Chains A and B, each alone.
Chain A
Amino acid sequence: MIEKATPYSYMGSEQDLIEYAPVLGIMKKKFPSYIKHAEEAQRFSRRFAREEIAPRALEVDRKCSEDPNYLDWDFFHKAMEEHLPTSFIPEKLGGRGWSALDMFVFTEEGCAACFGLLAVIAFSMFGFSCATVEYEPAVVLRFIKHMVSEEKEGRPVFFAWAITEPSGGTDAEHPAAMRTMRPSIEARKVEGGYILNGTKCFITNGNLAQFVVVNAPLDRSRPLETDTTFMLPATSPGFSVGKVEVKCGQKACPTAELLFDDVFVPAENLWSLEGEGMQHTQEILSVTRGGVGTATIGLARGAVERTVKYASERKVRGHRLIDEGWVQFALADLMMDILNLRHAWVDFALAIDFYHAMKLMRNPVADMALRITPKSVLMSDKLEELAGMGLVSSMVGGLKKKLVTEEIIENCIRHGSALKAAGADLAMRATSSCCDVVGLEGMKRQYGIEKCFRDAKVTQIFEGTNQLNRLDVFEREVGYEF
């Protein structure tokens, strides 16, 4: 018999981080401060999820049903006070200095409380990660400074990452698919920059973003060879937001159509080399799919936790619902997969920290430089100027290319896609199965279980559909050439 079961005392929420996976215990011996930091992040995340996310979840979901443009600003300001949108920025520069592990811990906890509200914060970080891909140090520093100073003033900085267009989302995420794509957008090269014309759709935070990172081909008839990544401020003349979608779930986080009508982008806002837009996309996906995979585990866990609570309180045939054999097997099935996939995200987070983008942060030289350079210098224009100088820029860029090799990116796409697709399938199965356990009465809005079900379906669709994710895994398992 299960003695204690409330939403926040079950399925890991009372468990220490190192109980998630034995490898974390081993890591703790070798890298004590790294794991301690993650444990602290977990304690913080649980408190934030319990106090700020969970209590708002249902109300925001309802308000967004009535008005898809609605955003809970109060929530976002709370998040800013805690430096969550800038959490990956080193503490010395004004962020939280979170590692990928810290961030993934936060993702699971947050999504267990509300997938939509977490997404508002997390997807903004995705957009920013676009800046770090090319690792133009001057650009990265400029944005860090901007975000930190805006955050201080209580003004949020939203990024949107726009690759999907009406003519295709799958085609925008796979090189072979893009080769045969019929693009809905085009960039024309002009004196001093580029002119963009066309449409993007289903863009998360698209209606909120001050900065839009967008992919477009220079030649519609050769989409892959000419695909290029641009950054543009939302104030650019000719740029506008089209319709904001009314969705099934994940409502707290808006999804919008973006319209480009002769939008001029100066050459310095090129965020990939010409024709290297797809590499840029792949590198981002190599990180974000793991993040979304983690989110799906949080989603599944949130549904299971709510169901355990409900089933522990509800009486049937002289005992609690949770004492019924069929209920125990239904839930055990989900718990089993949650435990297994949690190992996968822990592993993925470690890979990002020790092999991928975050490795640069852990690089002894970079670390030392960050330690000894006074904050006033780090945040000064001089450093930005210095970083922009050809030699420094190519040194850092080169270091990054050496550290984050093609092979690492490919490997992370493989594991990230596997985690995301398996997690999304689990989230869908888990939320559906939880509905079965609680029955018609448990479908009432106040229990939050029907919301989990509505939220879950999107995870099989975005970050590459589950079909594309499977293809990405297969191609990297058997070897492929485009």
Chain B
Amino acid sequence: MSSDVGMGKGVGGIIHKVCRDFCRNEIEPVALELDSHYDPERIKAVWVKSSELELPSMLIPEEYGGVGQSILTAAQVLEEMAFGCAGVATLFAYHLAACVPLSNAGEAQEDIQRLIASNGEKEPMMATIAYPGFEEREDKPRLGKSKGAFSLSGIAPSVACAPLADYIILFLEEDKEGAVSAVVVDTRAEGVYVGEPEELLGLHTLPFCDVTFDGCWLAGENIIAEGDKGASMMDRTSAAFNGFIAAVAMGTARSAYIKAYQYAQERYQFGKMIIEHHEIRRFLANMATKLNMGTAGYVRALSGETPESPLPGRASGLAKIFCTDAALEIAIDAIQIHGGYGYMKETGLEKVMRDTKMLQLLGKSNRLMEIELAEA
């Protein structure tokens, strides 16, 4: 396959190779089945297996037993995973994004970080993120304080991974403009109720559920950050998350592109192999362009990260818009190249189309992000 498309060869080559094998052996074979039938047991099995490669603890610092990789490397691993299944990769994207505020909090969240990094010993903990406070709803979750303890009540809608995750990092708007509380909630704690998985267009391996908090009490250490600090933690988390989703989009789109490229070489129509038709060549070159540009875009957006200078949120937001939009277009074109076969489930391409359409809407939907990111 044309080596210019997809993951760069230089960066963390070993990780990528290992990851590629994991994707081929553990994710690809079950992707279509998990798409048709949500099966938490099997998804959990993939998760546990991934801990042999220390994937869940990629962003946890070494001092707490993690691997201490960069956001960029994590994104590239996700791209590789998404080649096998965007749903599984997105589940990891939510988890890895949640590791950002946890590792930022350092010592204060040492316990959870160690639980996530319990590689090989026992099942690693899974975390996820949610921004329920920013929805305009009567019943949005609110944090109340009395006698040194915090009470959480309200409903967080469509929380990704909720029934699988052990911890949810919630970002809640405070009364003061621009101030944010970041709190970590144990999903098994009293007063936390996870609803039924919603039926959505795609990403079926990744359950989205409403989570109700009623009589849920939090201790001081559950509050990761407040005020401006909370806000900047949220921005940093979003920046990582958007970069991750951009990477996932590129990975899954690349799988569609490769299928289409191979099919175009095998399919005879109108007197020649269809790859000989100019219109099909235009499609393929266009897909490859988007993959190259998108990959370069997210890599560049995430490369700016150092401990001192936080992630440039705008660049990764723009990368998420471009990559997920491009991925959907690539998926649609890949189906088109396959003709009737592309519309059938077994080809696996309609799944990519449904999954990429969902990726556009995660976090904030692309059209809304455009409104926000118009100004630097």
Which residues of A approach B to under 8 Å, CB–CB?
65, 164, 167-171, 174, 176-177, 179-180, 182, 201-202, 245-249, 315-318, 326, 330, 428, 432, 435-437, 439-441, 443-445, 450, 453-454, 457-458, 460-462, 465-467
Q: Are B332 and A318 in contact (CB under 8 A)?
A: no
Question: What residues of chain A lie closer than 8 Å to B36, measured between beta carbons?
Answer: 65
7 A/B residue pairs, CB under 8 Å, sorted by A: A180-B271, A436-B360, A437-B367, A440-B361, A443-B201, A445-B199, A465-B339
Cβ of A176 and Cβ of B270 under 8 Å apart?
A: yes
Give Cα A97–Cα B293 distance, bound, in whole angstroms.
Answer: 57
Q: A169-B339, A177-B269, A461-B343 provided; 15 other pairs, C-beta below 8 A?
A: A170-B269, A174-B270, A177-B271, A246-B346, A247-B344, A247-B350, A326-B368, A326-B371, A432-B328, A436-B366, A439-B365, A443-B358, A454-B350, A457-B353, A460-B336
B334 to chain A, nearest CB (A): 11
Report the bound CA distance from A35 to B346 in whole Å: 46
Is B136 a contact of A180 with CB atoms below 8 Å? no
Question: Could you say which residues of chain B place their CB within 8 Å of the CB of A443?
Answer: 200-201, 358, 361
Q: Is the CB of A435 within 8 A of B367?
A: no
Contacts of A315 in B (CB 8 A): 136
Residues in chain A near residue B358, CB distance under 8 A: 440, 443
Contact across chains for A248 and B200 when beta carbons are under 8 A apart: no
B157 interface hit (Cβ, 8 Å): yes
A450 and B332 form a contact (CB under 8 A): no
Q: Are B343 and A457 in contact (CB under 8 A)?
A: yes
In the bound complex, how far is the Cα of B339 from the Cα of A171, in angstroms?
12
- Contact present for A444 and B342 (CB under 8 Å): no
- Contact digits for B311-343, partner A, Cβ 8 Å, 1 yes 0 no: 000000000000000001000100110011011
Q: Residues of A contacting B366 with CB < 8 Å?
A: 436
Contact with A along B193-204 (1 / 0, CB 8 A): 000001111000
A391: min CB distance to chain B, Å: 43
Is B362 in the interface zone, CB < 8 Å from A?
Answer: yes
Closest chain A residue, CB of each to CB of B137: A315
Report B287 CB to chain A, min CB distance, Å: 15
Contact in complex: B199, A444 (CB < 8 Å): yes
Smallest CB–CB gap between B45 and chain A, Å?
24
Question: Which of A180, A246, A316, A439 has the most C-beta atoms of chain B within 10 angstroms of its own C-beta?
Answer: A439
Q: Which residues of A contact B340 (CB under 8 A)?
A: 164, 169, 201-202, 461-462
Q: Please name all residues of chain A whose beta carbon is closer than 8 Å to the beta carbon of B136 when the two chains form the complex.
A: 315-318
Q: How far is the CA of A248 from the CA of B340 in the complex (A)?
A: 11
Asked if A461 and B199 sit within 8 Å, CB to CB, the answer is: no
A37 to B5, CA, bound (A): 58
CB pair A454–B201 under 8 Å, yes or no, is yes
Neighbouring B residues of A169 by C-beta, 8 Å: 339-340
CA distance A249 to B351 in the complex (A): 11
Q: Which of B157, B268, B362 gathers the greatest number of chain A CB atoms within 10 Å?
A: B268
Nearest 7 A-B pairs (CB), nearest first? A248-B350, A180-B271, A450-B201, A445-B199, A246-B345, A202-B340, A177-B270
Residue in A closest to B268 when the chains form the complex, CB atoms = A182
B201 touches A171 (CB 8 A): no
Quick one: which of B149-179 are within 8 Å of A by CB? 157-158
Q: How far is A315 from B138 in the complex, measured between Cα atoms in Å?
A: 11
CB neighbours of A460 from chain B (8 A): 336
A119 to chain B, nearest CB (A): 13
Which of A167, A248, A440, A467 is the one whose CB lies under 8 Å from B362? A440
CB neighbours of A330 from chain B (8 A): 367
Question: Does A245 lie within 8 Å of B270, measured CB to CB?
Answer: no
In the bound assembly, the distance between CA atoms of A428 and B346 in angstroms comes to 21
Query: Quick one: closest A residue to B370, CB to CB?
Result: A326
Is B236 among interface residues, defined by CB-CB distance under 8 A? no
Report how far A202 CA is from B341 CA in the complex, Å: 9
Interfacial chain A residues near B332, Cβ < 8 Å:
428, 457
| A440→B357 contact, CB < 8 A | no
**CA–CA, A315 and B270, complex, Å:** 52
Contact with A along B277-290 (1 / 0, CB 8 A): 10100000000000
**Contact of A440 with B339 in the complex, beta carbons under 8 Å:** no
- Please determine whether A435 and B357 come into contact, CB atoms closer than 8 angstroms: yes
Interface hits, B252-287 → A, CB 8 Å: 268-271, 277, 279
Contact B345 A247 (CB under 8 A): yes
In the complex, chain B residues whose CB is within 8 Å of the CB of A465: 336, 339
**Complex: how many Å from CA A439 to CA B199?**
14
B354 at the interface (CB under 8 A from A): yes
Nearest CB in chain B: distance from A283 CB, A: 21
A315 to B135, CA, bound (A): 9
CA distance A435 to B208 in the complex (A): 17
Closest residue on chain B to residue A164 by CB atoms: B340
Q: Which residues of A contact B269 (CB under 8 A)?
A: 168, 170-171, 177
Chain A residues positioned under 8 Å from B336 (CB to CB):
460-461, 465-467
B235 to chain A: closest CB distance in Å?
A: 20
Task: Determine how close the nearest CB of chain A comes to the CB of B113; give it in whole angstroms.
Answer: 29
Q: How far is the CB of B34 from chain A (nearest CB, A)?
A: 15
- Greatest chain A CB density within 10 A among B200, B269, B271, B328 is at B269
How far is A437 from B371 in the complex, measured between Cα atoms in Å?
A: 13
Shortest distance from the beta carbon of B345 to any chain A beta carbon, whole Å? 4
Enumerate chain B residues within 8 angstroms of A182, measured Cβ to Cβ.
268
B201 touches A441 (CB 8 A): no
Looking at the assembled complex, report how far the CB atom of A222 sits from the nearest CB atom of chain B, in whole angstroms: 15
* Bound Cα distance A445, B198 (Å): 8
Bound-state CA distance A182–B361 (Å) is 44
Most buried by A among B339, B360, B368: B339
Measured CB to CB, the closest approach of chain A to B314, in angstroms, equals 18
**A435-B201, A436-B360, A450-B200 are contacts. A458–B343 as well, Cβ < 8 Å?**
yes
Q: How far is the CB of A482 from chain B (nearest CB, A)?
A: 12
Residues of A within 8 A of B342 (CB): 461
A201 partner residues in chain B, CB cutoff 8 A: 340
Choice from B201, B350, B361 contacting A436 with Cβ under 8 Å:
B361
Among A245, A317, A440, A460, chain B packs the most CB atoms within 10 A around the CB of A440
